[in-house]
Amino acid sequence: MNPLRVGARASKMSLMQTAPVLASLAPAVPTILRPFTGAGGDRTKDRAPLESDGVFSDEIEAALVAGEIDVAVHCLKDAPTLDTPGLAMAGFLRRDDIRDCLVTRRPGATLATLPVGATVATASLRRTAALRIHRPDITVRPLRGPVDMRLQALDDPKSGIDALIVAACSMERLGLAHRIAERISPEILCPPLGAAIIAFQTREDDTTTREAIQPLHDPETGIEAAAERLVLLRMGGFCNAPPAGYCTTNSGTDGTTTYTVRAQSFTPDGTTTIDVRRSGSDPAAAAVAASHELARLGATEFATAQSDGLGQHADARWWRAKAPALGPRRT
């Protein structure tokens, strides 16, 4: 068969997570990798625009639509919530560890034992909100850019950064799992919808390519991914904003499978959190039920307020001005 032309972001993490996948398709399916150096890679400045829907993937999707590549590799977390017309997700790799992790400059510290007043670098609203709840003494320093560049900043003693919070799977994909100081419980820091899932996107009508990549697809992850995208769709969320959450699969000894969808929304100053779980044998129904409950408790207002105030999310005063209208802490 003709080689599959695969498009992926050119960051170190993207290339390191994509290369083994390509290798596993050979020799039956030869592949050629085309790296894309789009908007996502070099936004290390904290005044860069928020990571809104599709900012990482627009350029790769355009090449896919134009027929310049056959497969796009995305972190599902960064992929557009709505399928771009003519394109469709064709497979999902088995999910990695969904947890975020703490990476410290000096070994040994955990979120609980970081010194009072330590500086933790993250530009994520979700991570900032969790820090404000669990460690209000910590100074949050906005830091964007590829994970390997954030690590360089951490390791530079002049940066004054004591720790980072990044996805555990991004450290694993970079071959840096040994630098993980603590894998943070999802009860303390809820992962984003679509975390730790690598997705393959093709043209919708390209059955040849869709079949060629089927050996890579993990059905359980596919179901969880679909449930999580449904929550995102219903809540109007996007990569760096609420809601957070995930779907888990539990196979009972009696042959039944139960899906639990957790969904969470919060204000970044940590004053208000909504955290819901819905379970059932139908993952889509669980996702819809969790979304309804989140909306009923006011999360849609959170999401709207978040997207109104994107540039100001680090400004606690802005949040205090908005938060009273959103009601007290619910759960």
Ligand X SMILES: NCc1[nH]cc(CCC(=O)O)c1CC(=O)O
Interface with ligand X in residues 26-65 (CB under 6 A): 51
190 contacts ligand X (rule: CB under 6 A): no
For 245, left (φ over 0), alpha (ψ -120 to 50), or beta?
left
14 contacts ligand X (rule: CB under 6 A): no
CB-nearer residue toward ligand X: 150 or 203: 150
| Residue from 169, 232, 261, 295 in contact with ligand X (CB under 6 A) | 169
CB-nearer residue toward ligand X: 167 or 190: 167
Q: How far is the CB of 27 from ligand X (least distance, A)?
A: 28
Q: Angle at which helices 283-296 and 219-235 pack, to 10 degrees?
A: 30
87-92 and 119-121 beta bridge pairing: unpaired
Considering only 19-27, 73-81, 221-229, 230-238, which stretch makes contact with ligand X by CB under 6 A? 73-81
Task: Tell me how far apart the alpha carbons of residues 40 and 221 are, in angstroms, rounded to a whole number.
Answer: 25
Q: What is the layout of strands, in order, in the sheet containing 100-104? A: 139-141, 119-121, 163-167, 100-104, 182-183
Q: How far is the CB of 170 from ligand X (least distance, A)?
A: 4
Q: What is the layout of strands, in order, in the sheet containing 273-280? A: 244-251, 257-266, 273-280
For 67, left (φ over 0), alpha (ψ -120 to 50), or beta?
left
**CB of 223 closer than 8 Å to CB of 282:** no
170 contacts ligand X (rule: CB under 6 A): yes
230 contacts ligand X (rule: CB under 6 A): no
196 contacts ligand X (rule: CB under 6 A): yes
| Residue from 166, 180, 181, 193 in contact with ligand X (CB under 6 A) | 166
DSSP bridge partners of 143: none
Question: Number of H helices and number of E strands within the chain?
Answer: 10, 13
105 contacts ligand X (rule: CB under 6 A): no
| Residue from 102, 195, 288, 289 in contact with ligand X (CB under 6 A) | 195
| Residue from 53, 59, 70, 78 in contact with ligand X (CB under 6 A) | 78
Considering only 102-110, 163-171, 229-237, 271-279, which stretch makes contact with ligand X by CB under 6 A? 163-171
| Residue from 69, 75, 163, 193 in contact with ligand X (CB under 6 A) | 75
CB-nearer residue toward ligand X: 190 or 326: 190
Q: How far is the CB of 78 from ligand X (least distance, A)?
A: 5
Burial 30-54 (b: 16+ CB within 10 A, else e): ebebebbebbbbebeeeebebbebb
Residues 140-159, mask of contacts with ligand X (x by CB under 6 A): -------x------------
Q: How far is the CB of 186 from ligand X (least distance, A)?
A: 13
Amino acid identity for residue 54 in this structure:
G
Considering only 102-110, 164-172, 268-276, 290-298, which stretch makes contact with ligand X by CB under 6 A? 164-172
- Give me the count of residues in the chain: 331
77 contacts ligand X (rule: CB under 6 A): yes
Task: Tell me how far apart the alpha carbons of residues 9 and 219 are, in angstroms, rounded to a whole number.
Answer: 25
167 contacts ligand X (rule: CB under 6 A): yes
DSSP letter, residue 179: G
**Which chain residues interact with ligand X by CB under 6 A?**
51, 75, 77-78, 147, 166-167, 169-170, 195-196
